[in-house]
Amino acid sequence: MRTFITQAYRILNLWQKNWTQILAICHLGILLSFCAPSSGQMQIEITGVGQSLYPIGVSRFKDETGVSNIVTDVIRANLTNNGRFFNIDLGNNELAENTAPDFGSWSSKRAQAYAVGTVTAQVGGVYEIKYRLYDVVKNQSLGGTSVTVTKQDLRRAGHVIADDIVQRLTGERSIFSTRLSYVVRNGKQYQLMISDSDGQNPRVALTSSEPIISPVWSPDGKKVAYVSFETKKPVIFVHELATGKRIILANQKGNNSAPSWSPDGEKLAVSLSQDNNTQVYTVNADGTNLKRISKSSGIDTEPQWAIDGRSIYFTSDRGGSPQIYRMSSDGESAGSAQRVTFKHAFATSPRISPDGKYLAYIARAGGYKLQLLELRTGEVVGLTQTSYDETPSFAANGKFILYATRANGRPVLAAVSTDGSVKQILSIPGSEVKEPAWGPFMN
């Protein structure tokens, strides 16, 4: 059975090999607010693409050269990373959003859609970005939008426009404007990072000389809960990202681990070993009203709320080996928890898709691999060919799963589409990166 460190079945022998001993005495250094990034930029390697790519052209936005061409570059990169689009090479020719459409020219380039736009500097150091999207096949405008941002937020404008393009062409909400959190280790220093969805624009939320694990976003995207070892034991914190303000959510005797937000953001489920064996508890988001809800003589851990908030999925060895179960969020009566996973002899790390239809988990299957279970039918599909997968996290639209794994012998992040067709590796040269969590949609 894999090594149990801060929560039962926490994946890893690898952690002990690649991260310093959890209880080693090191000098503590904590930063409680965002600061300039000290880690390298994330690199993305797309190792798989969709079966049929949609050819689209995005012209260089007019008057963009004064701001380093960032908006168009972000849009094009986002569409490539989506795995469903092929960018027609248009060079640096600028076209404004009010340019009369030339469908014949675009058709000759074999584009099925194209986007044009304008970047306009305004008083007060802000920029207005307007864009329009055209359907080349139907020779018609599909509409557009405008975004007003500061110079520091020009990447966000590119994400917003790319999201708008995807939604207009596919009818699906896109996730370019969401954020990621992950932990980077450099030597004896650990950093909790917050970045754009493409891993770029990284910001440091917390720096410590002790491990940081299990970050999880609040439903409104304003806070992150995580486990920190800064006091030489696992303690759960809730961290407000805008201000850096933190509260201790759980610091009970023994291990405090595996936080999970309720859908309304009012509570968290956690795993505590204060009663000797690790069990699942709920606690208010301010740290009050701690309540034990699982009742077994085994280890119950890794709680995850169902989308309706009425039940909680969790990992337990009550049947002899780790499997995933479901119980009422009000508490487990004797024998009321129901087993959910059956295909594999070892199953951990449950994560529920945003629509509540799927369960992602890690199974021992010729290595530790990411699996996707359709809850209605019980059908299970393996999504990866890697062997050290851990800590899956769904994108806000449920179309991708982010997880930690190993590539070329080092810890990296990876993302895979839920149909398995698009695969990406996200890495930071010279650094170990783990513990990913995909943030929610931002209203």
| Confidence (pLDDT) at 36 | 45
How far is 435 from 432, CA to CA, in rounded Å? Answer: 10
Sign of the alpha-carbon dihedral angle for 396, 80, 170, 133: positive
| Confidence (pLDDT) at 427 | 85
Say whether pLDDT at 210 is over 80. Answer: yes
Burial class (CB in 10 A: 0-12, 13-18, 19+), 238: buried
Confidence of residue 429 (pLDDT cuts 50, 70, 90): confident
> Mind listing the domains of the chain with CATH numbers?
13-44+178-438 (2.120.10.30), 59-170 (3.40.50.10070)
- The percentage of the chain sitting over the pLDDT mark of 90, rounded to a whole number, equals 74
Name, in order, each residue with C-beta under 8 angstroms of 138's C-beta and a sequence gap of 6 or more.
none
| Confidence (pLDDT) at 422 | 87
Q: What is the mean pLDDT of the chain?
A: 88
| Confidence (pLDDT) at 401 | 97
Say whether pLDDT at 35 is over 60. Answer: no
Burial class (CB in 10 A: 0-12, 13-18, 19+), 98: exposed
- pTM for the full predicted model: 0.89
The residue ranking higher by pLDDT, 111 or 443, is 111
Lowest mean pLDDT among 32-41, 194-203, 279-288: 32-41
How far is 204 from 335, CA to CA, in rounded Å? Answer: 44
The residue ranking higher by pLDDT, 15 or 279, is 279
pLDDT in tens, 361-371: 999 999 999 99
- Range of 18-32, 62-76, 271-285 with top mean pLDDT: 271-285
Confidence of residue 334 (pLDDT cuts 50, 70, 90): low
pLDDT in tens, 50-66: 556 899 999 999 988 77
